[in-house]
Structure 1
Amino acid sequence: MTRSLSKKHDEQGISLPYNLQHITHVQVDPSDSTGFSGLPEEWRQILKSSGIGKEETMRNPQIVLDILEFRSAGCTRPAPPRAKDFKAASKDAVQFKLENPLNHIKSLKKAGEGSSGSVYIGDRLSDGRRIALKRLEIGKQTNIPALENEIAMMALSKHPNITECIQTFLWERELWIMMEAVEGGALCDLITNFCLEEDIVAYLCREVALALSFLHTRSRIHRDIKSDNILIGLDGSVKLADFGYCVQLTEEAGRRNSLGGNPYWMGPPPIKTPN
């Protein structure tokens, strides 16, 4: 049996477009305050609130347009909390146990010492979990609100790529912060002694980006990203640590006017324009 197709079926055609609408036509325009002409009002407001300056826009116009399109499609982070709501959550997160933390730990060994205090590694008696203890002496010059903020930021930021704050103790004018132990060391030691392959670098970047994405969607800024503050577990896990400079943005204070962190790890914009 043979099968034949008519000429009508052999000829395929494409119809003319219909219901065509020209919605947005944006052009780079140095004379406009935004760097663009033809921006929809919604995009203009997004750009205005983003903190992206005209100079940066002129250098990377297509990247800026991609960001505006992404944001206008509804891919935005939640609104920051009200200051009083964050203050209440922070207060709940910072609960000091007034007892000796050493009663809860066995096999405690000193792991390191810095300007702010000493760090110890041991096993928790209740379940044998490996933990780290950071010991800080409390004196007249101690910035208590800053310490409370650091603890609150860690306690409120529970994520697989962020060092977990387990418990805090206040005993005989010493503050002890119990955290999960990440015994592989800091990333700075790893990159000092080894030349990493590209796929390893990509993995490390992805894990840190996941931690930052978690923080940024909650309107929190770490402000001290550097290899010293990225810890590597013996199982290959990657953890963001040291929340001493971390801040929470709120409805009332949606931007920071202070400059923190290490200048060697900052991008040019924060250094050139602190505000």
Structure 2
Amino acid sequence: MAPSQQSSSPARRRQGSEADAYSITDPFKIFELIHPLGRGSYGAVHKARILSSGDIVAVKIIPVTEQDEIASIQKEIAMLRECSHPNIVKYYGSWRTRDALWICMEYCAGGSVSDVMHTRGGGLDEDMIAYICAQTLAGLVYLHSMGKVHRDIKCGNILLSEAGEVKLADFGVAAQLTNTMSKRNTFIGTPHWMAPEVIQVSQYDGKVDMWALGVSAIEMAEQFPPRWRINPNRVIFMIVKDPPPRLADKERWSLNFQDFVAQCLQKDPRTRPTAKYLQQHKFTSRDAVTTVAVRALLPLVQQARTHMAEMALMAGIEAQQAVPAAGNAA
């Protein structure tokens, strides 16, 4: 059960305002931080326990000092509050202290796809990749239908529940598209996953997520994104000038998988398919994808959980040091 924000919360009193998207209740009275899970956009993410119920959640703690930082974070909160979909990480509430903002979200016990690959020591099998891509597309179709662009799709932001469900996370760089400004002109994202039109500071829309999904599909197959050994500044140049990347081992992967990647990585966004269109692709629409892939994926999820628990024991002291001191609640 998620922690409830009290009726005195500004978010409860004046809904609809980004500035009122959090409670001023001291989060140290609500959560026990168990151990760090990693770092996302803006801040560190911790596994936490709700003191009143014992339920496990994820809490992102974001240091805030400057007004422009607060404005960016409030956009993230506003977006999270509006989203409700099985393939999108659930948002439960936010709490502000004097020097930090705590965002409480659904805890995904399997970690990220990156965690699973790291634990496995290599890339994933094709059925697993097809399943993850299909579930990611479902989440993106939902986001795009709401006029939103994720803009940071990569394996580190694709999470897995204990049951193998796929959840998109980390909307720290996601932007809402409005009726009056349907496309953005801002330069935000992770270099290796960036679409050419983002780098060229051209207008762009949800098709940038399709490019990033294509790069992520290669990442799942080969454990690393294309050009991962190359300096990010040079990668930015290469994405614009060079032909789009492809799967390296064409003998290993099916023609459907190779075509799916090629469709995602169309350099011209006008010819790049939408998420809804790609849901019908033979690679992601196979009947056997879900059952076979989840059965194969679950042992890897369990291994990743064990690995994260072991790492958490080693990082216990760091967890205490990384948390803003108690008593700083506004």
Structure 1 residue 163: deviation in Å?
1.1
Mapped pair 1:231 → 2:231: no
Match of 1:149 in 2: 75
Structure 1 residue 113: deviation in Å?
4.4
TM-aligned CA distance change 1:126 to 1:196, over 3 Å: same
- Find 1:247's aligned residue among 135, 151, 175: 175
Structure 1 residue 95: deviation in Å?
2.7
- Find 1:177's aligned residue among 81, 96, 103: 103
Match of 2:134 in 1: 206
Q: Secondary structure at the match of 2:61?
A: strand
Structure 1 residue 137: deviation in Å?
1.9
Bigger strand fraction: 1
Mapped pair 1:186 → 2:108: no
Q: Is the 8 A contact 2:21 2:78 kept in 1?
A: no
Q: Secondary structure at the match of 1:200?
A: helix
Q: Is the 8 A contact 2:42 2:172 kept in 1?
A: no
Match of 1:133 in 2: 59
Match of 1:104 in 2: 30
Once the two structures are superposed, residues 169-208 of structure 1 have per-residue CA deviations (whole angstroms, 9 ceiling, x without a partner) of 0123221111111122221232342332211111100111
Structure 1 residue 243: deviation in Å?
0.7
How far apart are the structure 1 equivalents of 2:129 and 2:72?
33
Whichever of the two has the greater Rg, that structure is 1
Match of 2:47 in 1: 121
The range that moved more, 91-100 or 216-225, is 91-100
Q: Percent identity?
A: 35
Q: Is the 8 A contact 1:259 1:274 kept in 2?
A: no
Q: What is the TM-score with the length of structure 1 in the denominator?
A: 0.62
The range that moved more, 255-264 or 175-184, is 255-264
Bigger helix fraction: 2
Structure 1 alignment gaps of length 5 or more: 1-87
How far apart are the structure 1 equivalents of 2:68 and 2:18?
22
How far apart are the structure 2 equivalents of 1:104 and 1:272?
45
Structure 1 residue 266: deviation in Å?
2.7
Match of 2:85 in 1: 159
Q: Is the 8 A contact 1:90 1:149 kept in 2?
A: no
The range that moved more, 166-175 or 112-121, is 112-121
Q: What is the TM-score with the length of structure 2 in the denominator?
A: 0.52
Match of 1:266 in 2: 194
**Which has the bigger relative contact order, CA under 8 A and spacing at least 6?**
2
How far apart are the structure 2 equivalents of 1:189 and 1:260?
24
Q: Is the 8 A contact 2:186 2:201 kept in 1?
A: no
Q: Is the 8 A contact 1:94 1:152 kept in 2?
A: no
Structure 1 residue 131: deviation in Å?
0.4
Once the two structures are superposed, residues 35-68 of structure 1 have per-residue CA deviations (whole angstroms, 9 ceiling, x without a partner) of xxxxxxxxxxxxxxxxxxxxxxxxxxxxxxxxxx
How far apart are the structure 1 equivalents of 2:19 and 2:85?
15
